[in-house]
Structure 1
Amino acid sequence: MYLKSVSIFAVLLVSFCSRAQTVEINTLSFEEVSDTRAYFQYTENVFPIISAHRGGARAGYPENCIATLEYTLSKTPAIFEIDARMTKDDQAVLLHDKTLERTTTGKGKLRDHTRNEIKKFRLKDTEGNITPYAIPTLEDAIVWSKGKTLINLDVKDVPLRTKAELVKKHNAFPHVIFTVHNADEARFFYDFDNRSMFSAFVKTKEALASYEEAGIPWENVLIAYVGAKSTKANKELYDLLHRRGVMIMVSAAPVYDKMEKRVDAYRKILEDGADVIETDRPAEVAEAIKMLYPEKSSKYNYWKTQKIKE
């Protein structure tokens, strides 16, 4: 009788542990490129946007991991900056470093391993703990993001054409944009498909002029990345970009995220004139700036909720 009871308990425990948990996530849904442009069009009515740097990693949730993106969306609507690199057999996967040790259980350079070889590796969280998550492919992330958010593909070693072809394959232009460091990179994507949109490095007036000289329409530049600090000295550049309808992004990750008293710093970034905060702490930023969202805005039309299984 005792053995039978233990057996029944074991079956129930396995059933409970294997049952998927349903969670609700906050999504940004863009069906057409025109939707994406409308959401990111700068207006004088402040509408802050949170960009989760590498997905917003934390304990239990590694960087550049789809489960982490979903966790972040369970806390706040957000867009995501993610990194992709190439394997030995030229498959694009999500990874920031050239080497595997810091963020995975693997060793050596990613470029020395095939896609099949890295399937056995597991991602590590921000504290170095091994998680159950494998390294996702860039294609996994592109497919996942549709109807959920916008992902911004950072510049690493994936050829520009490879990224462009993957986005075109999945008709993902409404929900995938490209980080570009200069006007030449933007021109490549624009010539490949004029639906390509950008998070562009525009740290100076000279850089701004270079995009115009290259013939890049400002409606294709959703975000101008101006650096890791927000100062009043940036006001002239901010004004020039805003007059062109472009939202301005400051990266809080290198400086502001590391401050002990961060709440006021996050608010000041927006008060200084920026519109997008890129951060390793998206949930904290969301809490700090929630009072700065307008009561009414057409941009709320793109905010939805979606139930998913973990």
Structure 2
Amino acid sequence: MKTTLYLSSLLLLTSWMAGAQEAATKPLHRIHPQTAQDLQAVLSFKGQHLPFVSAHRGGPTKGFPENCIPTFEHTLQRTFSMLEIDPRRTKDGAIVILHDATLERTTTGKGKVLDFTLEELKKLRLKDTEGQVTAFQMPTLDEVIEWARGKTVLVLDQKDVTPVERAEIVTRHKAEAYVMLIISSFKDAVAVHKVNPDIVMEVMIPTVAKAEEFDQTGIPWRNIIAFVGHTPPQDVALYDFIHRKGASCMAGTSRHLDLKVIRGEVADIQEIEEGYRSFLSLGADIFETDIPVRLGPMLHKDEAALKQPFFELK
């Protein structure tokens, strides 16, 4: 039994090393603003759309687990993308990247993340989207932030790490140029802005009334992307209001259009391209998606992104 497990592990590691060696030779679609002001400029609305994607949990797929550095590289080898990731606190106060509060679905472990030390969690292996065990480990937030420098923009969800704590981490790493925060309330947005006025935030603004309310917070619109909803609203006035303020609009497609592709309801994403582009017509600029490696290239297939500052295939 032990011999079989050893051979299985050795085969898995050998396969992973071969894949990693091959991947290392592929260029990345890099988004690499150098300052906080550069990031604000990249994400601002300039009078015309440059549609690109934010990869939900980094863009997991077969062989590549969610919230994992090799998965991030797999995504960036295929498209320009921001990477949305999920920080979780460990028993000994470290912060790892994992979506769930428990280990069973995405790792070889069992129980709550909060009940294990970082050393214990590093012994686990991550599972891919089909539940298959891979050779990959759970990364820490610090590891991911340092890896991402010069490569992409990270979007940190909240989970069990507070807005102010995440803002302090970004500040400590001097990562305002490429790490932004998902913020769940205007009150939290104000608190983050007080900690560090250079930090960019993704803030939920699903209606014109909410846009007007945010306008009263005193936070500059250059500091945010407006997340308009997982089901993008049909109110053109909302997108127009946000655009007039100079901010871009992010729309979620992971809970509807993406599912048609993931479930095999369409043979090719181009069959529903019109659906994605209908959201662009409304005013969406960026899509949060579960299928970045398929959606991203379709959105900028004319390589217009390569003509933009801080976008580079290298």
Query: What TM-score results when the alignment is normalised by the length of structure 1?
Result: 0.88
Q: Matched residues in 1 for 2:18 and 2:294: separation?
A: 30
Corresponding residue for residue 51 of structure 2: 48
**Secondary structure of 2:309's partner?**
helix
Question: Are 1:80 and 1:150, in contact at CA under 8 Å, matched by a contact in 2?
Answer: yes
Q: Where does residue 3 of structure 1 map in the other structure?
A: none
- Larger Rg belongs to: 1
| Whole-angstrom distance in 1 between the partners of 2:42 and 2:132 | 37
Distance 1:124 1:214, change over 3 A: same
Q: SS at 1:23's partner residue?
A: coil
Q: Percent identity?
A: 36
Change (3 A) 1:105 1:296: closer
Q: Which residue of 1 aligns with 2:29?
A: 26
- For residues 312 and 91 of structure 2, what CA distance do their matches in structure 1 show? 39
**Whole-angstrom CA distance in 2 between matches of 1:75 and 1:66:** 15
Q: Is 1:190 aligned to residue 198 of structure 2?
A: no
Amino acid across the alignment from 1:142: I
Change (3 A) 1:75 1:268: same
**Deviation for aligned residue 1:95:** 0.8
Residue of structure 2 aligned with 1:265, choices 260, 275, 278: 275
1:241 paired residue number: 242
Unmatched 5+ residue regions in structure 2?
A: 1-13, 267-271
Query: Would you say the 8 A contact 2:42–2:309 is kept in 1?
Result: no
Determine if contact 2:31/2:80 at 8 Å carries over to the other structure.
Answer: yes
How far apart in 2 are the matches of 1:96 and 1:24?
A: 28
1:30-179 aligned at under 5 Å gives the runs: 30-179=33-182
Q: Which residue of 1 aligns with 2:226?
A: 224
Deviations 1:77-133 (A, max 9, x none): 111111111111121110111110001111011111111111111110000000111
Structure 1 stretch displaced more, 236-245 or 267-276: 267-276
- Corresponding residue for 1:302? 310
Q: How many angstroms does 1:231 deviate by?
A: 4.5
Deviations 1:5-64 (A, max 9, x none): xxxxxxxx99x9599332211101111112111111102222112111110100010111
The equivalent residue for 1:280 is 290
Deviation at 1:182, TM superposition (A): 1.3
Q: 1:201-251 deviations in whole A, cap 9, x for unaligned?
A: 111223223322221111111x1111122343x211111101101111111
Task: Report the CA distance shift for 1:135/1:213 in structure 2 as closer, same or farther (over 3 A).
Answer: same
Amino acid aligned to 2:227: Y
- Separation in 2, partners of 1:295, 1:70: 18
Give the letter for the 2:56 counterpart: H
**Aligned mates of 2:205, 2:276 — CA distance in 1:** 21
Relative to structure 1, is the Cα distance of residues 126 and 50 closer, same or farther in structure 2, using a 3 angstrom cutoff? same
Q: CA deviation at 1:291?
A: 4.8
TM-score, length of structure 2 as denominator length: 0.87
Q: Structure 1 stretch 62-71 or stretch 265-274: which is displaced more?
A: 265-274
CA distance, structure 2, for counterparts of residue 213 and residue 187 of structure 1? 11
- 8 Å CA contact 2:52–2:296 kept in 1: the answer is no
What CA distance in whole angstroms lies between the structure 1 residues aligned with 2:164 and 2:102? Answer: 23
CA RMSD of aligned residues (A): 2.1
Matched residue of 2:312: which SS? strand
Residues 1:208 and 2:218 aligned together: no
Contact 2:205–2:228 (Cα < 8 Å) also in 1: yes
Unaligned runs of 5+ in 1: 1-12
Any idea what SS the aligned residue of 2:249 has?
strand
Match of 1:224, as an amino acid?
Answer: A
Give the superposition deviation at 1:180.
0.8
The residue type equivalent to 1:136 in the other structure is P
Question: Does the 8 Å CA contact 1:48/1:293 hold for their aligned counterparts?
Answer: no
